[in-house]
Structure 1
Amino acid sequence: MPQYFATVARSLEETAARELERLGATQVQPEFTGVRFRGDRELLYRVNLWARTIFRVLVPIYEFPCRDRKSLYKGIREIDWDRYLYPENTFAVRATGKNKQLNHTHFTALEVKNAIVDGQRDRTGNRSSIDINRPDLSINVHVHKNRCIVSLDSSGESLHRRGYRPAVGWAPLKETLAAALLDLAEWHPHLPFLDPMCGSGTLPIEAAMQSCQIAPGLFRKKFPFTNWPDFDASLWKKVYQEAIDCQRNSPPAPIWGSDRDREVLQQARTNASLCQLTSSITFSQTDITDLQAPADCGIIICNPPYGQRLGNSQQLSALYKQLGDIFKQRFTGWTAFIITGNKELAKCVGLKASRRIPVYNGSEPCTFLKYELY
């Protein structure tokens, strides 16, 4: 079976590996910011459509020794690009990694582009054009030490951009991180869920999408693999239709999102509406001081501010203490989680965390704290 490589956010490799296994992947091997796995073409289509915690699915096609510009150009010319790219097609190159001689990704990508079009001109007299926005073929080149791996990018734009979220608040979570936090919290659709500081609604929307069995890829107009010469239209139609057929009309347990900011809450409602989840999430304008448990048990995930941009240290210390007091006094029987990038603020919660899970929010190291509320 073909081998694939899923790119993921740092610290979410194991979470993504579990998700890929659930989707049917075999020989799953987590690596730094990625997961290698195997599967057939149907799995490739399904992962792009259903994966919630990964960025891209790459299909490696060639690996070669690569020390410098000359060996890079030579290696790229060795690939039979006629199998993947016709002169009338457009393409784009994304380079990652580096070594001593190839230490600038833009230069690496440019050299790869030159090698591809030079080969096309030699064989046909014509060449493909570059389209960085909507290319027919997306090529990924990764340089590590003295090796280069060339892959076809089946996903194109990062899968964390679901396509439903034109409205965002301050410091929004990536959708992939939100989905991973739900997994790390061991939340499942039969448990009530609450985000008391929901901002533009990423966490409640991701929870509702999982509860209603909505594949995140359904919001995309197109995937790059549909342009590949070996694209199986009937297989893709089958996978796509199965995703449509399995959707639920409503979640089996309630999902709530609240925020004190009326404007940002309207953004959350807009995003939920674009997912056709308006009736699946209850949004309310609620100050944290007025927060009450809406059920006897459930999961709370909270992403309070922890950076200088969103408040001074004294105000945030008071906020974190307030969260701890409210959880303890009003949410007996619940399990609460807080994600924060500030260890000193985390101490202000005043509750003993039963788990401390290291995660990254973008490039920011954070801790996902679990509190059992008895």
Structure 2
Amino acid sequence: MFDCFATVARGLEELAAQELEQLGAEGVEPGFCGVKFRCDRKHLYHINLWTRLCFRILVTVAHVPCRNSDTLYRSIQGIDWEQYLTPEKTLAVKATGKNDRLNHSHFTALQVKNAIVDQQQDRFGERSDVDTEIPDVQINIHINDSNATVSLDSSGSSLHRRGYRPAMGTAPLKESLAAALVQLTEWSGEVALLDPMCGSGTLPIEGVLKTLNIAPGLFRDESSQGFGFQTWPNYDEALWQSVVEAAKKQQRSELAVPVVGCDRDLDILAHARNNADNSGVSDYIEFNYTDFAEIEAPSDSGILICNPPYGERLGQSENLAPFYKLMGDILKQRFQGWTAYILSGNKALTKCIGLRTARKIPIYNGSIPCQFLKYEMY
């Protein structure tokens, strides 16, 4: 069994814990910006392939003392690195956290790297090269007071980068946050889904991927990107292929309700269509060139979900209050029988919507504290 830590966006810890349990993780324990859990090798592969909400799955190698740089160096040398890293493989070290004596992440990472390659030099007369871009083995060290957790990154690049989205709008939602927002709406593909300001299409795409039970890691597997664990000495190719094949067999192909994305920018809509095509769901999403003021409900009931500008990244000099009032008016007049969800990072603008919220869910969009607002339109 591996002891693991999944890194997640702030505010999504509980949601990610639920997902990890559903994916077969054991001993699941949410914390700050992450979730601890245990799993075997098959579930480590399975979770990397299937998680929609996590950024990275870190596998714990050791907990070591690190009162100062000398203690850290000796502690790292006390680990048998041969089972994790051979000299022909490249490595990179990422350090987080600090204490009084180790308060510079670059220096901490350098000490760890030196301890590892010095051990290799002593044993083999050769050592791993450093590759900070695409290392074969990514080592993480997290310092908490006088102790450090040493981990291997089983994911490689962040799992929120699915691989289907080379094209993005001006202020794109991370795929993992989009997946979380769709999950919070509890949309299950039984009613229509509409994003009236869809940008590069991430919300409807993530919604359809979830409803059709398409594992988000499949796009990465089919590209040259791969996962971190695939370059580990103990990588089991046959086991991985069995996990991938099982995922492909679980995909569904029917969606009986409309899924619609609208935007008033033709170039961005072209990106959205391209992203949907890359993710294999272009047949299930209708993208329309429509200004919000002209938006109409595509069916009698459904879920409307959107991430409108709220002055942090877009339109800072713009007065967005009239637009938020317009949103409220259109929802009230044209979306009776619908449930609307709006992500907002500006409480003053939210008041301009003029509708009573059924629920307010605190959530972070990057470093921006937001609220995911639910409106039931009668």
Instruction: Measure, in 1, the Cα distance between the counterparts of 2:19 and 2:250.
Output: 18
2:350 match: 346
2:125 match: 125
8 Å contact 2:19–2:51 — kept in the other structure?
Answer: yes
| Amino acid in structure 2 at the alignment position of 1:213 | N
8 Å contact 1:211–1:252 — kept in the other structure?
Answer: no
Shift of the alpha carbon at 1:312? 4.9
Question: Structure 2 length as normaliser, TM-score?
Answer: 0.96
8 Å contact 1:211–1:250 — kept in the other structure?
Answer: no
| Amino acid in structure 1 at the alignment position of 2:212 | C
2:49 match: 49
1:329 match: 333
Instruction: Measure, in 2, the Cα distance between the counterparts of 1:312 and 1:337.
Output: 23
Which deviations, in whole Å up to 9, do the C-alpha atoms of 1:148-207 show, x marking residues without a partner? 000011001000011111100111000000011111122212232111000011101101
Which deviations, in whole Å up to 9, do the C-alpha atoms of 1:319-368 show, x marking residues without a partner? 11111111111111111011111110000000011111111000111111
Which deviations, in whole Å up to 9, do the C-alpha atoms of 1:45-67 show, x marking residues without a partner? 01100100000001001001112
2:72 match: 72
Shift of the alpha carbon at 1:307? 1.7
Instruction: Measure, in 2, the Cα distance between the counterparts of 1:278 and 1:211.
Output: 14
Q: Secondary structure at the match of 1:5?
A: strand
1:227 match: 231
Q: Is 1:258 equivalent to 2:271 in the alignment? A: no
Q: Is 1:276 equivalent to 2:292 in the alignment? A: no
| Amino acid in structure 1 at the alignment position of 2:173 | L
| Unaligned runs of at least 5 residues, structure 1 | none
Q: Secondary structure at the match of 1:109?
A: helix
Q: How does 1:278-297 map to 2 (within 5 A)?
A: 278-297=282-301
1:142 match: 142
Instruction: Measure, in 2, the Cα distance between the counterparts of 1:187 and 1:15.
Output: 15
Distance change >3 Å, CA 39–CA 252, structure 1 → 2: farther
Which deviates further from its counterpart, 157-166 or 239-248? 239-248
Which deviations, in whole Å up to 9, do the C-alpha atoms of 1:209-266 show, x marking residues without a partner? 1122211101113112112222222211110011112222343432110011111111
Count of aligned residue pairs for this structure pair? 374
| Amino acid in structure 2 at the alignment position of 1:18 | Q
Shift of the alpha carbon at 1:313? 6.3
Instruction: Measure, in 2, the Cα distance between the counterparts of 1:309 and 1:59.
Output: 35
Distance change >3 Å, CA 307–CA 314, structure 1 → 2: closer
Q: CA RMSD in A?
A: 1.2
Instruction: Measure, in 2, the Cα distance between the counterparts of 1:73 and 1:146.
Output: 13
| Amino acid in structure 2 at the alignment position of 1:142 | H
Q: Secondary structure at the match of 2:282?
A: coil
Q: Is 1:92 equivalent to 2:92 in the alignment? A: yes
2:14 match: 14
| Unaligned runs of at least 5 residues, structure 2 | none
Question: Structure 1 length as normaliser, TM-score?
Answer: 0.97
Q: Secondary structure at the match of 2:284?
A: coil
Shift of the alpha carbon at 1:100? 1.6
8 Å contact 1:302–1:339 — kept in the other structure?
Answer: yes
Q: How does 1:236-247 map to 2 (within 5 A)?
A: 236-247=240-251
Q: Secondary structure at the match of 2:374?
A: strand
Instruction: Measure, in 1, the Cα distance between the counterparts of 2:255 and 2:117.
Output: 51
| Amino acid in structure 2 at the alignment position of 1:317 | A
8 Å contact 1:197–1:304 — kept in the other structure?
Answer: yes
| Amino acid in structure 2 at the alignment position of 1:171 | A
8 Å contact 2:205–2:276 — kept in the other structure?
Answer: yes
Instruction: Measure, in 2, the Cα distance between the counterparts of 1:251 and 1:71.
Output: 58
Instruction: Measure, in 1, the Cα distance between the counterparts of 2:335 and 2:210.
Output: 24
8 Å contact 1:190–1:252 — kept in the other structure?
Answer: yes
Identity %: 57
1:25 match: 25
Q: Is 1:103 equivalent to 2:107 in the alignment? A: no
Which deviates further from its counterpart, 243-252 or 320-329? 243-252
Distance change >3 Å, CA 73–CA 180, structure 1 → 2: same
Q: Secondary structure at the match of 1:130?
A: coil
2:201 match: 201
